[in-house]
Structure 1
Amino acid sequence: MSYPQHLAIIMDGNGRWAEQRRLPRIAGHRRGVETVQEIVKECRSLGIPHLTLYAFSSENWGRPHDEVGALMELLGLFLKRELQTMLANDIRLKVIGEVGRLPGKVREILEQTVSRTAANSGMVLTLALSYGARNELLRAVRDVAEEVRAGRVEPEAIDESCFAGHLDTAELPDPDFLIRTSGEMRISNFLLWQLAYAELYFTEALWPDFSSRELHRALEEFGRRQRRFGLTGAQVQKPARRQGEKNH
């Protein structure tokens, strides 16, 4: 079975998971961290080279102050605890979003983890933190405009590759598969440019309940998809090789 080269996940439903059990919302986020650990481990074992997780959106800053504070503390603990796991499993950590908005202590831990894992090449784990795709696009437009104003780029030289080079994900391939948990069927301001041709998969499972089994179910669905990129099915379908036919 073919696996995606870049899997992106919108991890939704932590709060609802806790509310259904009459627990504080942060309990759902703690359980969600355990799911992150399981899914990262499984993706690494499957050889998926890129995994991007929507961990904290720019809109999430509008949540109650206590919840945001608890989430930031949880993020710091996760990074501290998982550093050795990343090093042992050849996982490189990257981050996209407005990292400058994160609390200083969390930002320091994040920068240290990114630096310590920079030489790893087995899998790239990208966390979208304080991230919003519209904001990312606006920042990229401003960067390109500044290049033009400084005379370093001619307007007619601006193409998709040039523009993509100014996005937070400039070093990453575009995701070819997006999973969203919790039954919501929207992409919520996540990777709007990069998801242009991604296959989308929505599951009713809340993120804390999204197990390795659920991941494999989603990957099996991805394996059944035919990715046409605007062509016809006949154009992209590989002809079956006849028995005895040799490669030339």
Structure 2
Amino acid sequence: MPRSVFGGRHELGQNFLVHAPTITRITRLVARTEGAILEIGAGDGALTRSLAALDRRITAIDIDEHRVRRLRSDLPRVEVQHADALRYPLRHPVLVGNVPFHLTTPILRRILATNGWDHAFLLTQWEVARKRAGVGGRTMMTAQTAPWFSFTLHDRVPSWAFAPRPSVDGGVLHIRRRDRSLIPMKDRSPYSRFVRSAFTGRGGSFDRILQNAMGVDRACARRVLADAGVAARGLPRDLTAEQWAALWRGLKR
């Protein structure tokens, strides 16, 4: 395969999925959804070929022009586009992708900031998938978006399931847009700032963090926490999406 004008495998972050059971698993998860599919980073097309068997409208994008040309020849029923995942419109109900590991965070941020899709099935680094799903504690990004999206961790994918083999395992993460938001969309920006203040605020317990970050007295902070079912000695990483929403509503009141 000739070298892309964008660089070689290392520059493009390409670790191709070659593990048939994982490909089948992702395809079965996608089969439970409805609507057109957009595959991000099609690569050599191993997952693309499996998705094509679902007999749904599929668009596959990749930044490597040589692989795009070959996929167009091999899969004439699939719309294959030479495109950058950080710029291509994400207007398909279902997004699927073996995400280049070095681009995981910007791709995730773009997906979570974009309307027009309902489900996203992403193969990312294991630690990223685990943290986004809240295993062992939620991250700030997850807390900032949880009122509008749910995160589910499905599988751990061993590093030997990729070629060339990366240094870390992967994880299959399912992001689903909630049917009903826990917080109105018009509050998304101030809510996001509130979560950031909570995660970065001073204090060894949540009541002190809220007191310092939000400028309320400690009695008020404890009352809001109690109403939301949050322990005063808890930490931001321990909260569920519902508790974050309840905190936001309590502070607004």
TM-score calculated relative to the size of structure 2: 0.34
For CA contacts below 8 A with separation 6 or more, give which structure has more relative contact order: 1
Task: Give the TM-score normalised by structure 1.
Answer: 0.34
- Would you tell me which structure has more helix in proportion to its own residues? 1
